[in-house]
Structure 1
Amino acid sequence: MLQCFCSLQPTPASITKFISDQPHLSLLENNCTTMKDLKKLHAQLIKTGLVNDIIAASRVLAFSSSPAGDINYAYLVFSRIKNPNLFTWNTIIRGFSQSSNPEIAISLLIYMLVDSSVQPGRLTYPSVFKAYAQLGLACDGKQLHGRVIKLGLDCDLFIRNTIIYMYANCSLLSEAWRMFDEELELDIVAWNSMVLGLAKCGEIDESRRLFNKMVSRNTVSWNTMISGYVRNGKFLEALELFQEMQEDDVRPSEFTMVSLLNACACLGAITQGKWIHDYVLNHNFELNGFVVTAIIDMYCKCGNVEEALKVFRTSPKERLSCWNAMILGLATNGCEEEAIQLFSKLESLSLKPDNVSFIGVLMACNHAGMVDKAKDYFSLMAEKYQIKPTIKHYSCMVDVLGNAGLLEEAEQLIRSMPIKEDAIIWGSLLSACRKHGNVEMAKRAAKHVIELDPAESSGYVLMSNVYAATRQFEEAIKQRLSMKEKQLEKEPGCSLIEVNGEVHEFVSGGRLHPQAKEIYSVLNDLKLMLQ
């Protein structure tokens, strides 16, 4: 029997020798690819008593706590290990830091410090800093950073990288900058973290400056910068950077493709979007749920529902996000009946609709004027699927009722909500009041919009339009004057269209387009034809 070490992890040589001497562990090393396989082998280890050996238990723990495993099963394995050593502690903490419950990794560290004879090592701390980053709790992570400094480990490159990542990911840029010094020899992980954290805070130009200064870049570097551009609404810059990425002969990943497809969706650039779709197919990218969802969403937002449906029908549909993208796409492109039919098909499968699915089907009911059906779906959320309606679901219902002229019912729904209303939902009611000419209710709705979001101009604009529609022009002017006094400006509308592979941007009242004169001439001709 091999000796159990409390403060030293097994050496690679000892693990290799032990595995070669045990057939069950050889199988674990070579043939275990699923939790089903692992459980069978684990049962054999229990029967033979080999599970009591720290190395055997560590191998089971390592697989079950990996992304391919089951972290809950891993914890059961860990809890049955007598005198766990540093290797097993690090394994379970790392597993939880990568799971959907990273807070447990922090709890395990605290338990390790208070009740365990084993003290954390240099490989323990990075996982915990990542857990703090995942939870957005860098302020709490500062305490652990202080402990690391006291132990003299803050110069350890691996630890330093994860501390930078934690601060940058949580938008604490001043703390991240203190750890990050461009003059030091930092590795690519630290640079990627800083590029990500400036991009997340909207400092996209500073992010690009750091990106340009990087001595070496990997796929993560390019992905981070491209996704940063998309997150900050710089879609053309994202596409241009992808061209540079190709020129540098860097192979993109699925994450690159998803970001670029999102950029094309926002631009309405279907030619570029179709090219990226072809690129995905020609370069044998895995058509996983994220990629398929992005492709469907791109075609729908570019108005090509037929192509979106073709992708949906011919691709794997294990992920609910693919269904949701297609339901939403149909609903927003005038295919309400098809959206409702697809939702019904989803209900008949093993997949269960979620809150996004219901937003899609409620939007479809709204556009189709199906008030009763919308009410049925709204009730179905809680009664059958135990989904609590969010403010977005209530907003959809207010739109449904408001467009149908059921203004009193819509107002009552807002007032009876178990959650706090926002300016958007009152704005929806205000728009409905404008449509149906209910001035008194519009006043109440506008009051709420202005109180909830004083910096937003929509309440004044919509109220002015309500007065104008009912020929109360003096009151309409007062609303516009109130806006001027408060120095509120209505953000001009903007639209994008692709013509011959080139994206054109149009701003309401804008004259900067090179063909503005010809465009306005055609618009004037159209106005004359419509009179």
Structure 2
Amino acid sequence: MPPCFLSFNPPSTSISKFISDQPFLSMLETNCHSIKDLKKIHAHLIKTGLAKDTIAASRVLAFCATARDLDYAFSVFCQIEKQNLFTWNTIIRGFCQSSNPRVAISLFVEMLVSATVQPEKLTYPSVFKAYTHLGLAEDGAQLHGRIIKLGLEFDPFIRNSIIHMYANCGLLGNARKLFDENTDSDVVAWNSMVMGLAKCGQVEEAWGLFVKMPARNETSWNSMISGFVRNGKWIEALDLFCEMQDMKIRPSEFTVVSILNACAKLGALEQGKWIHDYIKKNDIEMNVIVVTAIIDMYCKCGNIETARQVFETAPRKGLSSWNSMMLGLATNGFENEVFELFSELESSYLRPDSVSFVGVLTACNHSLQVDKAKEYFKLMTETYGIEPTIKHYGCMVDVLGRVGLIEEAAEVIRSMPMKPDAIIWGSLLSACKIHRDVDVAEWAARNLILSDPDETSAHVLMSNVYAASGDLKKAVQERVKMKEKMMEKQPGCSLIEVNGEVHEFVAGGKWQFSSAG
């Protein structure tokens, strides 16, 4: 064991000078490799009386906050006799970046009412970030008012944090006003606006700002690519990624995850493989998010074997990776493998969640195993205490309906604690068409129309139900209703990748997407 700070006795004179001197800092860096080491050092500081020194406690506090042990950091903070601006800013910043940013706001309020230390300009960006994480832009607007009164509204760090808060929380008018008022906005402000517009579905406006940006960084490209993917513009996302490669800009893990999602949506297997190879060749970290995105891409492109290889060899896989693999197996017809994988999950250190049960219920649905679906539904609610969502109820309605248990499926809908959506009513209606149950079909169709008046499937499926039961007059009447409402059935389409190009085939013609890669 190397020489440790614990065996070092500082001179009794001028404790503060010793703490601020290089010997203490170098020993802290040399011997403190983890929060466990720090706690030993802190224990020694307490024993020797050094812990009461504000500078010493500040160093310990900063390490705790950086190491994300905020419980310990908070205990250190509370033990400091004379808290200064640095200690307040450190603990507020630590909590604003944590999973509990509300504590950061509470600490800020406590700081405001304290008689000793008041916030200054470096304090405010962290507080605005906490409001952003919580989606509380309206509350943050009150702090914005304080900033104006203090004359700090032109500080670039504060201004950027306010723009980001408004844009991220959907208050685009407020964000744009601040953005336009500053003719010298930096790349951070531009990125916030692009990200906020794309997040709120205004992807064309986001693109308009992106092309006007005087300078771009990695975040700029990632924000625009993820914005395209979020809004279903997958080809545009792939094209922009190719342009990013031409500009020799190294993508982050967030960029490759967005591109993998685009490939998954398009069924672009070859391009997805290229991205996977790119990740391996460029040493992009195979963290849980990246691993899950790769598995999801291969599953949605139908390459289950490779998806399973990625899953089995992944250095780190979280619950999301397990869930993605189970859902992929279920949707590709490997139901027994789903049940086996779920058993492995139960035996692991992880605990199945709501999505895990969507996976096994989907497998039950596809394999028409009603009894097994009921067992898993009971296991979910009684053993794991998971409250069923509309997706779980949808799986139950679908499997019951497909095997002809129409009344039981209808009873599940009646027992739901939430309002059924158009998907559930459509599922029941489709089952009624297969099993020619006109009465339940009419009930489902009425509710489907109430749920989504513009949905054409209610009339189309009811027409088919009537036709299957031999009532051609009512079948024709449903088609007439569609014409009277000027409703048109959307043509079916499918996607296929050929030689690196993704093509969309539509009933009545063929559309070709541009090549992306």
Match of 1:526 in 2: none
Partners of 1:476 and 1:464 in 2: CA distance: 4
Q: Does 1:466 align with 2:482?
A: no
Partners of 1:80 and 1:463 in 2: CA distance: 71
Q: Cα deviation per residue 1:4-38 (whole Å; 9 max; x = unaligned)?
A: xxxxxxxxxx9996254665x54443453433333
Q: Does 1:118 align with 2:90?
A: no
1:1-20 equivalent positions in 2, closer than 5 A: 18-20=19-21
Match of 1:220 in 2: 219
Match of 1:92 in 2: 91
Aligned residues of 1:433 and 1:441 also touching (Cα < 8 A): yes
Shift of residue 211, structure 1, vs aligned partner: 1.4
Shift of residue 182, structure 1, vs aligned partner: 7.8
Structure 2 residue identity aligned to 1:50: L
Partners of 1:250 and 1:333 in 2: CA distance: 36
Match of 2:50 in 1: 50
Partners of 1:38 and 1:382 in 2: CA distance: 43
Match of 2:8 in 1: none
Shift of residue 107, structure 1, vs aligned partner: 2.1
Partners of 1:400 and 1:60 in 2: CA distance: 58
Match of 1:63 in 2: 63
Match of 2:180 in 1: 181
Structure 1 residue identity aligned to 2:296: D
1:41-440 equivalent positions in 2, closer than 5 A: 41-66=41-66, 68-115=67-114, 117-181=116-180, 184-440=183-439
Structure 2 residue identity aligned to 1:208: W
Match of 1:6 in 2: none
Do the aligned partners of residues 108 and 344 (structure 1) sit closer, same or farther apart at CA in structure 2, a change above 3 Å counting? same
Aligned residues of 1:443 and 1:463 also touching (Cα < 8 A): yes
Do the aligned partners of residues 421 and 161 (structure 1) sit closer, same or farther apart at CA in structure 2, a change above 3 Å counting? same
Match of 1:508 in 2: 507
Match of 1:481 in 2: 480
**Mean Cα deviation higher: 481-490 or 282-291:** 481-490
Match of 2:37 in 1: 37
Do the aligned partners of residues 216 and 32 (structure 1) sit closer, same or farther apart at CA in structure 2, a change above 3 Å counting? farther
Structure 2 residue identity aligned to 1:149: I
Shift of residue 220, structure 1, vs aligned partner: 0.8
For structure 2, the 5+ residue unaligned runs are 1-14
Do the aligned partners of residues 109 and 164 (structure 1) sit closer, same or farther apart at CA in structure 2, a change above 3 Å counting? same
Aligned residues of 2:68 and 2:94 also touching (Cα < 8 A): no
Structure 2 residue identity aligned to 1:165: H
Match of 1:5 in 2: none
Shift of residue 368, structure 1, vs aligned partner: 1.3
Q: Cα deviation per residue 1:230-255 (whole Å; 9 max; x = unaligned)?
A: 11111111111112111211111111
Structure 1 length-normalised TM: 0.89
Structure 2 residue identity aligned to 1:39: K
Aligned residues of 2:398 and 2:428 also touching (Cα < 8 A): yes
- Count of paired positions: 499
3-state SS of 1:202 partner? coil
Shift of residue 137, structure 1, vs aligned partner: 1.8
Shift of residue 150, structure 1, vs aligned partner: 0.9
Aligned residues of 1:34 and 1:69 also touching (Cα < 8 A): no
Partners of 2:150 and 2:193 in 1: CA distance: 25
Aligned residues of 1:35 and 1:69 also touching (Cα < 8 A): no
Partners of 1:190 and 1:119 in 2: CA distance: 27
Aligned residues of 2:311 and 2:317 also touching (Cα < 8 A): no
3-state SS of 1:498 partner? strand
Do the aligned partners of residues 64 and 421 (structure 1) sit closer, same or farther apart at CA in structure 2, a change above 3 Å counting? farther
Shift of residue 194, structure 1, vs aligned partner: 0.7
Partners of 2:263 and 2:512 in 1: CA distance: 21
Match of 1:529 in 2: none
Percent identity over the alignment is: 64
Aligned residues of 2:330 and 2:366 also touching (Cα < 8 A): yes
Structure 1 residue identity aligned to 2:385: Q
Partners of 1:313 and 1:339 in 2: CA distance: 14
Partners of 1:358 and 1:511 in 2: CA distance: 38
Partners of 1:432 and 1:64 in 2: CA distance: 58
Match of 1:9 in 2: none
Partners of 2:33 and 2:491 in 1: CA distance: 55
For structure 1, the 5+ residue unaligned runs are 1-13, 515-531
